[in-house]
Structure 1
Amino acid sequence: MEFIMKENSFVTDLEYGQLEVSGNADFGFRPYQLLVSSVAVCSGGVLRKILDKKRIAYKDIRIKADVKRNEEGANEVMNIHLHFILYNVDASDEKIDKIMDITRKNCPIYQTVKNSIHITETFERKEDE
């Protein structure tokens, strides 16, 4: 990847399109937002693959991410809590717990940051709204 400086951001062209990153949300995605998105979406993608591989039916997966940053330091990301909402999932809580464990072990982004960012996860099962 190559990042090109603009007046208020850096830009890179990727396979899907252009990504603009800035410390100011008025000019692009903020770096911490991309970091948290990477952890959440990587985990969600691995979770989906595992459910599909195990032929466990589900309708939808949503992920809520809460972030705590160290305002007394460099405002670094200290904690990320991911809350997975699984719609119409056909598995027990115990089975989902095991799958979440496998998800953590197989998500490359989680594995990359696990020793520097405290990551917690919860899940809930919901039926169609």
Structure 2
Amino acid sequence: MEFYLKENGMRIDLDYGELSISGNEDHGYRPFQLMVASIAGCSGSVFRKILEKQRTEVEDIIINADVERNPEEANRIERISLKYTIKGYHLDPEKLYKNLEISRRNCSMIRSVEGSIKIEESMETIELSI
């Protein structure tokens, strides 16, 4: 990966386009936003694959991320709370929580920050009718 200096941050050219990174939201994504997006995106993707393999009928997964940062330590990310809202059919919350735990163990982004960022997960299910 090659990153290039630009006037108000950095940029990288990826297969899906150019990504601008800046401490100022007017000029690109903030680094902490990319970190949180990587964790939520990885976790959600792994979770979805597990649910598909088990043929769990899911219409949608929404992940809400609440971030706690420490201004005393360079605004370091201390905690990320991920709330999963699962919309689907014949949902078994106990089975979903077990699958979420499996996805946590298999998400490279969560595993990469273990011990430095506290990751909390919760879930809400919305049962859809046929």
In structure 1, what is the Cα distance between the partners aligned to 2:65 and 2:89?
20
> Which residue type is aligned with residue 50 of structure 2?
I
How far 1:127 sits from its partner (Å)? 3.6
In structure 1, what is the Cα distance between the partners aligned to 2:36 and 2:57?
27
Larger % of strand: which? Answer: 2
Q: Deviations over 1:21-75 (max 9, x none)?
A: 0011110000000000000010000010000001111110000000000011110
Gaps of 5+ in 1: none
CA contact 2:57–2:88 (8 Å) conserved in 1: yes
> Which residue type is aligned with residue 49 of structure 2?
K
Aligned match of 2:25 = 25
Answer yes or no: is 1:12 the counterpart of 2:15: no
Higher mean alpha-carbon deviation, 117-126 vs 91-100, is at: 91-100
TM-score (norm 1): 0.96
Answer yes or no: is 1:95 the counterpart of 2:98: no
What percent of counterpart residues are identical? 47
For 1:80, what is the secondary structure of its paired residue?
strand
Aligned match of 1:58 = 58
In structure 2, what is the Cα distance between the partners aligned to 1:63 and 1:89?
18
Gaps of 5+ in 2: none
Alignment map for 1:33-112 (pairs within 5 Å): 33-112=33-112
For 2:55, what is the secondary structure of its paired residue?
coil
> Which residue type is aligned with residue 105 of structure 1?
R
For 1:124, what is the secondary structure of its paired residue?
strand
Consecutive aligned runs of 4 or more in structure 1 exceeding 2 Å deviation = none
CA contact 2:91–2:127 (8 Å) conserved in 1: no
How far 1:89 sits from its partner (Å)? 4.3
Superposition RMSD in Å: 1.0
| Matched positions, count | 128
In structure 1, what is the Cα distance between the partners aligned to 2:98 and 2:90?
14
